[in-house]
Amino acid sequence: DLKPLDELGPKARGLAGRGVELVLGGHPLSCLDGVDFVVVSPGVRKDIGLLDEARRRRIPVLGELDLAYMLAPRPVCAVTGTNGKGTTVYLAAHLLEEAGMRCVVAGNDTDRVLIEAMLSEPPDVLVVAELSSYQLEGTSEFRAAASCVLNVKPEHADHHASFEEYASAKGRLVELTAPDGVAVLNADDPVVAGFARRARCEVWWFSASGREGAHARAERGPCNIKNASV
């Protein structure tokens, strides 16, 4: 960490007391000596010097998603988007439970860290994950059994170099969906619709504007659901 120990919280200080080696106050390149891979915390910029040096040395650079999936490969239903992903993961978990499936919500802005849920839950429990662009950028090993991208609007300009970079990180989830899985995409959002070209799996569409051809769509008139059976 760039901060010294006295500026970090008690949990970080507790690590030192448990025998964990802490490298603080900077990112010396010597901390790469003898390591097998580097795990990057979500929110750390991918272009910092330490990570550039790791790649130059051909040391794999992994994110939380990759590490979790390497340690505990299991079905994950993953949701991302600029707005609405928190609501969507809890709604999806509720619907899955009503259908008789055991599931838990984890990830990004939820009450549970994703890697902890993937490691500790029984194999028959489906993890419904809220994923941010920070978690998705640079991820390569993780695979989602099902994914959903809600929308992509300008955000996190302090972290991503451009909107295109931010959008590409969101679209990474489609590429990371297993070939025998399904990606659910918003037909009304042109950026999200473009992600279909990156899919290696089946794509299902939803539309709030009633777009023809969408697997689920809203239409004006009496309350009913069109083409929503799955």
Q: Which of 46, 85, 159, 170 is catalytic?
A: 85
Number of Cβ within 10 Å of residue 51's Cβ equals 19
Active-site choice (46, 108, 160, 170): 108
DSSP 219: -
108 is catalytic: yes
- The one catalytic residue in 27, 83, 94, 156 is 156
Tell me the H-state helices in the chain. 10-17, 49-56, 64-71, 85-98, 114-120, 133-136, 163-175, 190-194
Rounded Cα distance, 210 and 230, in Å: 18
Annotated catalytic residue 159? no
186 part of the active site: no
DSSP characters over 10-62: HHHHHHHHTT-----SS--GGGGTT-S-EEEPTTS-TTSHHHHHHHHTT--EE
By annotation, the residues acting in catalysis are 85, 108, 156
